[in-house]
Amino acid sequence: MRVIGIDPGLRQTGWGVVEAEGQRLAAVAHGVCRSGEGALAVRLARLYNALETVFAAHEPDAAAVEQTFVNRDAAGTLKLGQARAVALLVPARAGISVAEYAPNAVKKAVVGVGHADKDQVAHMVKMLLPGVVPATPDAADALAIAICHAWTAGAAGRRAAAVR
């Protein structure tokens, strides 16, 4: 199963693609989509186009997107939500199932602690995907989201097979 993890952000959206076979993981690619400057609608369109290009290049089977946490800045949270909508729309339009994970769930799955910091997440991504050096913290987070989904989906599949 090829999984893309997406860490939505208005300035830059991190993405990471992993190949999962059982518990074995292999990194395929990772990076960030940048929106640049300008009107909000134009920036969202840039994110959409960049993510579509990533999907076309890497042909994932499943997608996982980090859920938004609400902070004190309501306007910032709303803009992040709009970038997140783009991250949900691209895989949906490609006919790919989309899972959503809370930030703490991703950290717990990858690091073992739900309140791990970005450095800890990046370190564990490097440990789980030898040879990978994430380009940015957003790309590391996206790879962590993909890992979380690969393991979660794999476990769900094994449970379903056992029940049958």
User: Which one of 37, 117, 119, 138 is the catalytic residue?
Assistant: 138
Q: Is 66 annotated as a binding residue?
A: yes
Tokens 């989509």 sit on residue:
33
Q: Is 7 annotated as a binding residue?
A: yes
Paired tokens of 128: 């789980």
- Do 145 and 64 meet the contact criterion of CB atoms below 8 Å apart? yes
Tokens 């029940």 sit on residue:
163
The question of whether 138 is a catalytic residue gets the answer yes
Tokens 């830059």 sit on residue:
12
User: Which one of 7, 21, 37, 73 is the catalytic residue?
Assistant: 7
Q: Is 138 annotated as a binding residue?
A: yes
Strands of 11-61 (E only): list them. 12-21, 24-34
The alpha-helical segments, DSSP class H, found in the chain are: 40-58, 74-93, 103-110, 118-128, 137-163
The question of whether 7 is a catalytic residue gets the answer yes
Between CA 43 and CA 79 the distance in angstroms is: 11
User: Which one of 19, 66, 100, 119 is the catalytic residue?
Assistant: 66
Binding-site residues from annotation: 7, 66, 138
Binding-site residues from annotation for Mg(2+): 7, 66, 138
Residues belonging to the active site: 7, 66, 138
